Structure 1
Amino acid sequence: MNPSTFNTRSAAGAPLLTNARGLEPERLPIIRQYMHIALRWRYVIIGITVACILLGLVATLLMTPKYTAEVTVEISRESNRVTDFQGVEREASVADQEFYQTQYGLLQSRSLAERVATQLRLVDDSKFFERFGVSDSDPAFQEVNGRYPASGRAVRQRIAGEVLLDNLNVTPVRLSRLVDVSFTSPDPAFSAKVANAWAENFIQTNLERKIQATSYGRNLLQRQLGQLKERLNESQRQLVAYASAQRIINLPAQSGGDGRLTSERSIIADDLAALNASLAQATADRIQAEARYEQAGRAGASTEALRNQAINSLRQRRAELAADYQKLMTQFEPEYPAAKAIQSQIDQLDRSIGREEGRVSGSLQADYREAVERERALNSKVEQLKASYLDLRRRSIQYNIYQQEVDTNRALYDGLLQRFKEIGVAGGVGVNNVTVVDPADIPQRPSSPRLLLNLALAVIAGLGLGVLAAFALEQIDESFADPEEVERRLGLPLLGSVPKLTEGTPKEALLDRKSTLVDAYLAVQTNLTFSTEHGVPRSFAVTSTRPAEGKSTTALALATMLARAQRKVILVDGDMRSPSVHHLGGVDHDRGLSNFLAGQDDITSLTFPMSDLGFTAMSAGPIPPNAAELLTGTRLQTLIERLLQSYDHVVIDSPPVMGLADAPLIASRVEGVIYAVESHGIRSTMVKTALSRLASANARVIGGVLTKFETGKAHHGYGYEYGYGYGRDDKAARS
């Protein structure tokens, strides 16, 4: 085997592409790569650096000296208060950052700047505007009799404030309440005056803002009180109107034993409670009357009969007569006149006792009936009151809603009224929370420009811009301009370069055996004969990084060259996503590779002859839903093995590598891969990424073919032009 093209493996087992001399491509350390770029573009870096230094020097010398005056102020979180009025602010530990950021923003506010400009009378000072280079093209700056017009005062005030803000700097002192306010200008005394005036006006505006906030708060609360008062009255009227319409009468609240007021009570609820108590008493009376009535029915042994005085007198008299009768019976017969008289009295007494007991029993029965009727009447009344109470509860839902609204409005009104009274006491009470710690002094030395610092910054900027320019120039052109760059950049053996067709189709050029395309692919075929021990690989795939780089043309041309070398060749269209081989044969792709991968074993019905080019072809077949799933099995390996039984070479037109899993799957099943690289069209980084994917799939990349090569764009065009055009112009002239 020729050592010019083979694969080796790293210590980790990953395949490494070798160059044409059988050696691994040199991998420069990253520092050496940067040094190489810097040396290549050293004049660009030096030129940009020198230009930046000169620019910085000139700019520094032309700058006007400026002086910075600084005043230090302390901003406390809150001022002292003499009332216990609680506002709506959060605790200081939570809102400190928000508070101080607000103060820093107020220090740089436009209103404060215009206030300082007005106080220092800068609005009408022409020297101030000239000092800071303000253009006098505006009508507000056109002097009349040596003075600015009054009509443009508002414009000048705005511009003066903007000028002051542009030259002001607010710097908080870290982890403290101190703030440094500095002002820079060409005049040191003016800088100190503006800085001190800025601090003083900030303190004044802070006090004025508190007074305005108090006045605004009182006015706002007064308006809100009026609105709440109206809402409270309206809700009360609404409550009374609804109660009148629905005849809802509630007793007023009463104070309990603990001094607390009870809630309002409805009359129906009180009546129901009273009647319910009466019903319970009536039920007890009825049960008691029923018991007495039932007891009276047991032979006059009722309690009322036993307690009746008349019955007891009659029974006592009967007992006496019965004793006398028994005494006479000891001596006489019952027919004895005296005994008969006594017996007659006893019978009369028994009848009297019976009548009295009947009268008592009738009285008990009447009492029982009366108790039953009273219980029934009270029960009926209670049921009516229950229905009325339930109806009242239903009608009281809206009444309670209105009552809640009245209570809410009254609570809001009382709270707001209390706050209104307190804010009148708290307004304007307290000390100012901003104080001047160090007033500004007149600076003795200019703060800018600083020559050494500017030159150092110019050197750093120049070096940075120079390095960026060098890297930009290095990265701009990643295309392959010369065939030798395929090996130098990719570490890939170069099998040949193919010129770009200016007219006609690749098939027409292949049919013309005198075309430059045929010569180029003959050279590629010749180099392929040295890639393995048995010459041209029996099975190989042709792929590229992306579509339209010439891989299909390369596969077609190599199949044609091998067929003309008296080899039996079959070209398989492996791109089942965007097939193209069937167009060259003038057939459809309804039968082809995807059919075999899906399980069909009859290969002959899947191929078609390409007689004009001398080989057999297999189309991609029907486009499957997912081509990668068909390629993951062993059917592709089986197809290649069966084709090699009938053909000398199997050439597969593979899909592009980037973005698809098809090409690595096909590359791992063939003996080698030929990689097509488009000249002047593809970036080397994309090709390296694609080659890494093939290496991860353990694919053997035999070499690369530079396609669509234009000699006029090459760095060394003479050599390549000579190779492709030698003798053709002379022959054309002779013909």
Structure 2
Amino acid sequence: MTEKNEPLPTGYDAYDDEAHETPILLQYWQAVLRHKITIAAILATCIALGVIITLLMTPYFTSTSRIEISREQDKVTNVEGVTGSDGAGQNLEFYQTQYSLLESRSLAERVVRSRNLATRDEFFDTFGVDPDDSGILSATPKTQTAAQRNARLKLATDLLQEHVSVSPIRGSSLVDVNFESPNRNLSAEIANAWIEQFIASNLDRRFNSTADARKFLEEQLAELKQRLEDSERSLSGYADNKEIITLSSEQTPDGKTVSQKTLASANLEALNAELAQATADRIIAESQARQRAGNENALGNAALNSLREERAKAQAEYAKLMVQFEPEYPSAKAIESQISALSQSIAAEEARSRRGTSARYGEALAREQKLQRQVNRLKGQFSGERRDSIQYNIFQREVDTNRQLYDGLLQRYKEIGVAGVGTNNISIVDRARPAERPSSPKLLINIALAILAGLGLAAAYVFVMEQIDQSVKDPADLKTKLGIAPLGSIPDFEKEDILTSLADKKSVAWEAYLSIRTSLSFLTDHGVPRSFLLTSTRPNEGKSTSAFALAAVLASTGKRILLIDGDMRNPSLHQMLGIKNSAGLSNNLSGTDDLAQLVHPKTAFGFDAMTAGPIPPNAAELLSSTRMRDLVTKLGATYDTVIIDAPPVLGLADIPLLANSVEGVIYTIEAGGVKMRGIQSAIQRVRSSRAHIFGGIVTKVQPQHSGYGYGYAYQYSYGNKAAAEA
């Protein structure tokens, strides 16, 4: 026999945490299977409620109107813009603002007022709302007080906001406005009125947004107008004072006024041209006067040239006559006299021509000198005017600047006056039409929602129940929650006779206990423990059945096994074997040493048995002596294994006394039975007696609720199949 706190041998590694830890998903599935009937009931109830509620719901009709909202940039002046430069972030901000405006309460109130919904009782009746239930006294529109009208307006606005929805179309500037109501015509009317009032409110906002700008521009225009008038008066007064007379001027592309010609500059230009001409005439006259040859000067005289031509003809005729006649010839004398007369005339004409050239020279010189004096006087006047034009240009620039500002603001003021009237960035794409079929309720969607709700309730129920139910459900809980090794699990046989099942070595019960026997062989260095007892937290957890079955399974291997019924308060072994309980353990503890009279050899299941014997008045006193330990030691010399079916732990003092007599304790736990706290308290009580707990057996496990149940079902089916084939 090993020491009570001796560490487990190397073979015990088969029972470490990882070998028996159930996957988390499998734990969830097992929890679902444990509550499958309740889950099915919850789902069925939710689905039924979903169908009933769907059939009882009022059908709603949804009408949709579509609008396009364009991004634009409004400006009031060239100097300062209302909106900044366009960008992706500002586009997103702009459209989010528009969507919020579409859902605003102010827009809903505009729709209510435009359609007089607050005074239409049929509108409230459509939604099944009675204004009287809202504290609004029924009265005609003429007799309603302001408070009543405001209350009806608020109620109608709340109804609109509750049933309207805005659906932007992704990747576009299109927006759908949806309105649902029990009346298909009302839905279309409200959807169309909604977008109409949105457009109207947008125009109102745009017009109202320029009110401050218009007021500002009016003030600026009045100020600039006065400044322009003052600067023009200053310019005109200065020009009159300085006698600056502008004959022509023009404006440059940048709006500046440039004087092209003044009176002084025009006079100076004209006199300067005359002076130049007079100078030219004087030079010509002077040249003619200084010529020494008068004939050269007379070449231009027509009369003189004519006389010379006649004289030349006369001389030619005279020379011809001289060829034939003498000088005294009368015809010759006559021609000679003609030639003399012509010569005198030519001389006289030449003298007259020379006198005219001198006179012309004098006149040209006098005219030139006079014009020169006038030009000099105008030069002085023009120089003074140029000095005065500096200040004149300053006044002129001030006038130009004021006029440009005034004209620019005046143009902007005119634009603001019609801002938003001619154009609008919101346009209607599709108007709403009455819906042909209801949009809600939708049976399939409601059933799906009911299923989801049922699953949610079922999950909550399972979670709560699992938290409340702290019993052992899985053999893996033994190690994780109780700190003992899981030796195996026994399925729930329900009404099946365990003795009949153990008689068939191909049954599920036999296979289950056979696997436990395999686990027992790894508990000590010498294999199956020489002595051990089976106990439980409370009665009816399957410890007696497990002790009986383990004795039968161990005996089937050819070993000598003794099963002792140690539960002297509630014995059961004699009933299971069908023998009398006339003598047994209580007799030995009372002083009987003849074991042959107390042991029933070779039972039908192959092991020897010692019943509990007559029920003593106080079993704890019998167990407190050393006879129990001596009995186990004595029987250990005869039998390979001694198994004791011990009483439950809670409420009794038997287990701490019995545990010191055997090599170890096997704890039996009913699946879904005692709460975890009670089991922990019982195990702690066993350990306080310095008893060694080999492990635990979980009984009454539902095969479909545990990951270990599949093996039993498989083995059972396999065994039956093999039997059938045999």
* TM-score (norm. length: structure 2): 0.38
Larger radius of gyration: 2
* TM-score (norm. length: structure 1): 0.38
